[in-house]
Amino acid sequence: MKYVVVSGGVISGIGKGVIASSTGLLLKTRGFKVSAIKIDPYMNIDAGTMSPLEHGEVFVLNDGGEVDLDLGNYERYLNVTLTRENNITTGKIYSKVIERERKGDYLGKTVQVVPHITDEIQNWIERVAKIPVDESGEEPDICVVELGGTVGDIESAPFVEALRQFQFRVGVENFALIHVSLVPVVNGEQKTKPTQVAVRDLRGLGLMPDIVACRCTQRLEKPTVDKIAMFCHVQPEQVVVVHDVNSVYHVPLLLEQQRIIQVLTNRLKLDSMNVSSPFIAKGTNLWNQWKQLTTSHDRMFETVTIALVGKYTHFKDSYTSVIKALEHSALRCHRKLTINWVESTDLEISSNDSNRVKFHKAWHEVCSADGILVPGGFGSRGTEGMIAAAKWARENKVPYLGICLGLQIATIEFARNVLNLTGSNSDELVDKPEHSLVVFMPEISKTHLGGTMRLGLRPTHFQPGSEWSRLRKLYGGADSVEERHRHRYEVNPEYVAQLEGAGLHYVGKDDVGERMEILEMKPEDHPFYVAVQYHPEYLSRVLEPSKPFLGFLAASSGILDELLENNLQVKASN
């Protein structure tokens, strides 16, 4: 097993995750089987209980693990399926060590950060790196390990020390380190000092970079590269730059041009590894597809505008996978994507005069969009605005996609405005509504919030008589589909007959047929009114866009029929 560790200096949030996943992708194009581990040095056991406004989206895996959004990057770039174990947190490591201490595993010993915590970290990495992640079912060849935060933080100290020891445990020829740094441009001058200091800190902790990856708004000038090489004690070819590019999909190309794979090949002796020819062919094919995709991205001019009506819109990281799924679909439909970010509270009529400007602006964004998307969310703030947006989409025949909360919203809206059940609401949003259209799932814990939702991959069955469903056609006419979930509430089955009678059809249900998974209006009633209780965005891939998103984006671009008739392909000339 070869390990490529990616750490960060200077500041976090400059694209370490994208650089790590792009490196993994490049290794994959050479035929290697690549896995990934993300280390998050916080005390939470997982990201499930963290606010999306603080930490970004919570990503959900097949096994129901609620993890850091970087795991989503890895799954998308490497086309792999990861497990909750691939996200290591301080909380997980400590609780494991404490559990072992109580069992008496360390009997007689004083349990300490070094060696007990650091050993546990190393054991965890070695164990998880071996888990098969792709359809081959074989052990991976290379594992990318990304260390969250920046080196030098108090939080990450035990992990840095564990990695220092780890390079000797696995052997130096099996361990390479990429340190991601920032080169700010001040008054036109590219400043190398932060990078020098960051690398000095790293060396002081016993780790040496094999590649210094510099984020910069512009290309690095030759003297800048030479200076970094000299002060950081590396060869100039070990300094790569990731300057701002059109899209993150270009980053692998950028790294490839700078021969990052050659550096890693020499360093890790990758030439001596046995790679079977089918894997090499697959890798080459993947690379060609990737290059084609990024060039076609640069040649797209027709636009499609989607209004994203949510409550965390001030922090775009809260919707990473939703944005990605829209982008993947836009690439397939040859459309340039514009997202109108609409804070749903702004759509609500307020008595406060100063909010009126926001109100009109927000409605302008909704009304001028080609499609309206209401994503997942928790709590009542902004839900009346979402209900109003769903009403607009339904009445004006604008394509609508509701995800999780977005399905519950569409249900409440329909009950209120079509069935005239004016007191309709969700038990999550108000206390004892007159009509509880959305209710708490009986099997869910009311006292424990961590990891207790209905989570992970679960089947949805299309119902008899749903052959007309566009979503079903998008899924290739399947009888059932598997998608990832994350919710506590569900549509109240007692109202389903009434809702269906008036034209809102629950075409997909769970195993028992009691849990509503997909709602849809018939094609004669609406061009595309679809909502799902699951989160299809988590399984969307660059080259394999999520079907609900693809249908929604095509409908918003006015090419849904073409897409369905041509085996989900769209001609570029459209």
Residues that bind ligand GLN (CB under 6 A): 376-378, 404-405, 428, 486-489
Q: Which is nearer to ligand GLN, 59 or 159 (CB)?
A: 59
Secondary structure of 233-287 in the HEC alphabet? CCCHHHEEEEECCCCHHHHHHHHHHCCHHHHHHHHHCHHHCCCCHHHHHHHHHHH
User: Has 537 been annotated as catalytic?
Assistant: yes
Residue type for 265, please?
T
Question: Of the two residues 155 and 428, which places its CB atom closer to ligand GLN in the complex?
Answer: 428
CB 376 within 8 A of CB 505: no
Shortest CB 32 distance to ligand GLN, Å: 35
Q: Which is nearer to ligand GLN, 485 or 505 (CB)?
A: 485
CA distance 558 to 211: 46
* 4 closest CA partner among 234, 267, 243: 267
Closest CA relative to residue 377, chosen from 332, 434, 315: 315
535 is catalytic: yes
Which CB sits closer to ligand GLN, 348 or 428?
428
Q: Which is nearer to ligand GLN, 34 or 403 (CB)?
A: 403
Phi, psi of 105 (to 5 degrees): -60, -30
Active site includes 66? no
Which residue type is seen at 416? R
DSSP string covering 363-415, please? Answer: HHHHHT-SEEEE----SSTTHHHHHHHHHHHHHTT--EEEETHHHHHHHHHHH
Quote the least distance from Cβ 477 to ligand GLN, whole Å.
Answer: 28
Minimum CB–partner distance for residue 518 and ligand GLN (Å): 15
How many CB atoms are located within 10 Å of the residue 244 CB?
Answer: 11
Q: Which residues contact 260 (CB under 8 A, 6 or more apart)?
A: 23, 26, 211, 240
C-alpha span between 92 and 210 (Å, rounded): 29
Looking at beta carbons only, is 76 or 487 nearer to ligand GLN? 487
H or E segment to which residue 71 belongs: helix 70-78
| Nearest partner of 420 among 434, 402, 400, judged by Cα | 434
Name the residue nearer to ligand GLN (CB basis): 165 or 452.
452
DSSP letter, residue 541: B
**8 Å CB contact between 50 and 58:** yes
| Neighbouring C-beta atoms of residue 362, cutoff 10 Å | 25
The vertex-37 CA angle with 36 and 41, nearest 5°, equals 155
Query: Smallest distance, Å, CB 426 to ligand GLN?
Result: 8
Spot the catalytic one: 120, 343, 483, 537: 537
CB of 88 or CB of 409, closer to ligand GLN: 409
CB 66 → ligand GLN: shortest distance, Å? 11
Annotated catalytic residue: which of 328, 334, 487, 535? 535
Which position among 75, 404, 487, 517 bears the catalytic label?
A: 404
Q: Are 537 and 465 in contact (CB under 8 A)?
A: no
Name the residue nearer to ligand GLN (CB basis): 286 or 322: 322
Measured in Å, how far apart are the chain's first and last C-alpha atoms? 47
The residue with its CB nearest to ligand GLN is 376
Which three-class secondary structure state does DSSP give residue 310? strand
CB of 283 to ligand GLN, least distance (A): 36
**Phi, psi (degrees; rounded to nearest 5) at 454:** -80, 110
Q: Kindly state the smallest distance separating residue 404's Cβ from ligand GLN, in Å.
A: 3
105's tokens:
């595993």
Residues 6 or more apart in contact with residue 552 via CB below 8 angstroms:
329, 371, 373, 399, 400, 401, 528, 530
Q: Please state, in angstroms and rounded to a whole number, the distance separating the CA atoms of residues 558 and 454.
A: 35
Task: State which residue, 414 or 489, has the beta carbon closest to ligand GLN.
Answer: 489
Burial of 513 (0-12, 13-18, 19+ CB in 10 A): exposed
User: For the CA atoms of 115, 120, 123, 129, what is the dihedral angle to 10 degrees?
Assistant: -130
Q: CB of 412: closest distance to ligand GLN in angstroms?
A: 12
Extract the tokens encoding 41. Answer: 């040095």
> Cβ of residue 383: shortest distance to ligand GLN, in angstroms?
10
CB contact at 8 A, 404 and 374: no
Q: How far is the CB of 92 from ligand GLN (least distance, A)?
A: 23
Give the residue with the Cβ less far from ligand GLN, 105 or 514. 514
- What residues are labeled active site? 404, 535, 537
